[in-house]
Amino acid sequence: MREIVFDTETTGLDPAGGDRIVEIGCVEMFNRSETGRHFHAYFNPDRPMPPGAEAVHGLSDVFLSDKPRFLERAEELLDFLEDSPLVAHNASFDFGFLNHELGQCGRTVICTSRMVDTLAIARTRHPGAKHSLDALCTRFGVDRSRRIKHGALLDAQLLAQVYIELTGGRQIGLGLVEDTEDMDIAVVAGTVTIREPRPARPHFAADEELERHRAFISQLANPLWERLSAAS
């Protein structure tokens, strides 16, 4: 199954109040594995960047001044998303901004039935724990050393690894071949290898081995099995 893990960076928290998307990063996954394909774009929001938002993601007015508007890359973004489920952390936030931008440029909004929220999954799987992306990376051993500031593409890549762990780990995509009841199944680095069973190797003690065993037994003084036999 194809899924898209995505993240956005914005000018603030409220699209209805005029806040805009300034960066989006999307990572393609197929059967819970990253394919290497991604979509990444910065956008000129046509409004000043609040200092608080810039402190989070580091995207300044100067940096964004020559970037395209969302409208200019909306078609390319939608072509990448196709009709796949969309995975995000606190997905209602990212969906709210994405659909606001699509509505602003006359595009059909994305149905929330396609939304997969890793924050909701994490709260269900690990109640009472910390559920930030940083905390989940630490829990699952995902290297986040490059995450100095928030960045949409990097965060989507980190979230893709977290999502794999939240939904069963690296072995979730492994399937067993039919009719393998009598086969030897080995899993090596995520690959299922089927080997035909070897026939049983007959083994019998040689006559001289049996004779040495009898000689050894005869030297035992008052062995346990003789005492038990006498007691019965």
Tell me if residue 150 is catalytic: yes
Q: Is residue 11 within 8 Å of 51, Cβ to Cβ?
A: no
148 is written with which tokens?
Answer: 């100095």
* Active-site residue (options: 131, 150, 203, 213): 150
Q: Is 9 annotated as a binding residue?
A: yes
Cα 196 to chain center, whole Å? 33
Q: Is 155 annotated as a binding residue?
A: yes
81 is written with which tokens?
Answer: 């998303």
| SS3 track for the chain | CEEEEEEEEECCCCHHHCCCEEEEEEEEEECCEEEEEEEEEECCCCCCCCHHHHHHHCCCHHHHCCCCCHHHHHHHHHHHHCCCCEEECCHHHHHHHHHHHHHHCCCCCCCHHHEEEHHHHHHHHCCCCCCCHHHHHHHHCCCCCCCCCCCHHHHHHHHHHHHHHHCCCHHHHCCCCCCCCCCEEEEECCEEEEECCCCCCCCCCCHHHHHHHHHHHHCCCCCHHHHHHHHC
Q: Is 61 annotated as a binding residue?
A: no
Q: Is 100 annotated as a binding residue?
A: no
Active-site positions read: 150
Annotated binding site for a divalent metal cation: 7, 9, 155
Annotated binding site for substrate: 7, 9, 57, 155
Annotated binding site: 7, 9, 57, 155
